[in-house]
Amino acid sequence: MTSEVGVQAAVESLLNDARERYELPAIAAVVVKADSVLSTVAIGVRRAGYADPVMPTDRFHIGSNGKAMTSTVIARLIEQGVLTWDTRPVDIFPELGPAVHDGFREVTLQQLLGHRAGLPPYMTPKSMRSAERRVDNAGSPRAQRRAFATWLLQQAPDAAANTDHYSNAGYSIAASMAEAAADEPWESLLESRLAKPLKITLWRGQPARTDPAQPWGHGQ
């Protein structure tokens, strides 16, 4: 099927089937070739129980895709010799010194990104708020990330290193390590190492939190 109309109809059919099967408020997809976009389709509603239709130009909250972006940026820094897969937080954060917990002393960047550092999951808003209360939230986002990383690495591990133990915190620490090694804020690293080379526009945060007219995520 080569016509634009045919591609659009096929994508709409697939999305309608998936939306019905999985009881989704909305779903969207884009079909691309190496050099062009063949179709962009969005069906459903912006918020469950409401009638406002979702649009192809809406901003969906894609959540953990931030981990893929973080890994890509760090891989680019490793290619440039700024970091290595074996770089440890103690190599980057001198203020840790002997205060780092023995369970995290030899943890590497690769373990942080692979959910094998033994860190707490931090997968719920409650656990995240709990961490915020224990860390100095003054200063820039970069300073706050570093404060969280150095505080957490002084706490007891949640699991043994080199065991599979999912953690959002590992990526937060890895991002702070990248900022320190490159001497560049994370927001800037995303632009310089990811968005500009790929010629894409990034938007950070939860769209519906600042604009209720955007699609609502499953946790909102």
SS in 3 state form for the chain?
CCCHHHHHHHHHHHHHHHHHHHCCCEEEEEEECCCCEEEEEEEEECCCCCCCECCCCCCCCCCCHHHHHHHHHHHHHHHCCCCCCCCCHHHHCCCCHHHCCHHHCCCCHHHHHCCCCCCCCCCCHHHHHHHHHHCCCCCCHHHHHHHHHHHHCCCCCCCCCCCCCCCCHHHHHHHHHHHHHHCCCHHHHHHHHHHHHHCCCCCCCCHHHHCCCCCCCCCC
1 pLDDT band, cuts 50/70/90, is very low
- Average predicted confidence (pLDDT) for the chain: 91
206 pLDDT band, cuts 50/70/90, is confident
Residue intervals in the chain for CATH 3.40.710.10: 65-198
Cα separation values, 205 from 3, 24, 60, 112, Å: 36, 22, 10, 22
Share of the chain above pLDDT 90, in %: 73
Q: 177 and 87 in contact (C-beta within 8 Å)?
A: yes
Give the pTM. Answer: 0.83
What is 65-198's CATH number, 3.30.70.2390, 3.40.710.10, 2.60.120.560, 3.30.1220.10?
3.40.710.10
220 pLDDT band, cuts 50/70/90, is low
Q: What is the pLDDT of residues 29-82, one digit of tens each?
A: 999 888 888 899 999 999 999 999 999 999 988 877 889 999 999 999 999 999
Report whether pLDDT(194) > 70. yes
pLDDT score of 160? 93
